[in-house]
Amino acid sequence: MAEREPERGATAHGASRAEQAPGKPSDLPRGSSREILKRTFREYKADNLPDLAAALTYYAILAIFPALLALVSIVACWASRQPSPLPTTSPAWHLVPSAPR
């Protein structure tokens, strides 16, 4: 029977990483910071984070301009103290049937 891999967050001996983690950075053995950076970079690449970050940035930039356009339009409508130069309801009155007599 094949041996099962430990669950994420657990070691091969069954103890969780939190139980084996040092209390503070000074408790880490020498040279472990290099291993931490290597593991962090591997996880970063394995989780496909560069592509996710690029997609998030792309869609955020695409969303900025329509949002600004909508915001400026709404503010312009509210800030305008003059009535609208375009008639809004008068052209539609001839389409509505008159009240029954």
Both ends of the chain: CA-CA distance in Å? 90
pTM over 0.85? The answer is: no
> pLDDT for 38-51, tens place per residue?
998 899 888 888 89
> pLDDT for 58-75, tens place per residue?
999 999 999 999 999 888
How far is residue 42's CA from residue 40's CA, in Å, rounded to a whole number? 5
